[in-house]
Amino acid sequence: LRSESSPISDAISKATDSMLMNTDWSANLEICDLINSSPDGSVTASQTLRRRLKNDNMRVLTLTLELTDACIKNCSSDMHSAVASKEFMGDVVALTDGKQGWEVREQALKLIQAWAIEFKDRSGPFVVFTETYVQLKTKGVTFPDPEHTAPVFMEEPPSSQAAEPVEPTDPTMKLAQDLSVVAEKIKLCREMLPESSGIETDDALAEVVGFLEACKPRMVDLIECGMQGMLGEDLVSQTLQVNDDLLKTLEAEKNGTPLPVETKTPIDS
What's the CA angle centered on 218, arms 78 and 184, to 5 degrees?
Answer: 145
Residue 162 main-chain phi, psi, to 5 deg: -90, 155
Q: Note the pLDDT tens digit of each residue in 75-96.
A: 988 999 999 999 999 999 999 9
Query: How would CATH label the architecture of 7-148?
Result: Alpha Horseshoe (1.25)
Q: Note the pLDDT tens digit of each residue in 37-74.
A: 998 999 999 999 999 999 999 999 999 999 999 999 88
What pLDDT score was predicted for residue 160? 39
pLDDT band at 143; cut points 50, 70, 90: confident
With contact defined as beta carbons under 8 Å apart, do 114 and 82 qualify?
no
Residue 199's nearest CA partner among 260, 252, 246, 153 is: 252
Residues of the chain with CATH 1.20.58: 171-255
| 156 C-beta neighbours (distance < 10 Å), count | 11
H or E, element range at 115:
helix 102-118
Sign of CA dihedral 142, 144, 147, 153: negative
With contact defined as beta carbons under 8 Å apart, do 71 and 41 qualify?
no
State the average pLDDT over residues 202-220: 83
CA distances from residue 82 to 35, 48, 236 in whole angstroms, order as listed: 12, 12, 32
Of the two residues 16 and 173, the one the predictor is more confident about is: 16
Residue 1 pLDDT exceeds 80: no
CA distance 9 to 48: 6
Residues of 225-251 as b/e, b for ≥16 C-beta within 10 angstroms?
ebeeeebeeebbebbebbbebbeebbe
Residue 155 pLDDT exceeds 50: no
What pLDDT score was predicted for residue 174? 67
Residues of the chain with CATH 1.25.40.90: 7-148
Fold of 171-255: Methane Monooxygenase Hydroxylase; Chain G, domain 1 (1.20.58)
Q: What is the mean pLDDT of the chain?
A: 82
Q: Note the pLDDT tens digit of each residue in 19-36.
A: 987 888 889 999 999 999
Residue type, 73: K
Residue 215 main-chain phi, psi, to 5 deg: -80, -20
Residue 154 main-chain phi, psi, to 5 deg: -70, 140
Residue 151's nearest CA partner among 187, 125, 175 is: 175
pLDDT band at 166; cut points 50, 70, 90: very low
Of the two residues 79 and 179, the one the predictor is more confident about is: 79
CA distance 206 to 9: 23
Least confident of 14-23, 41-50, 152-161, 221-230: 152-161
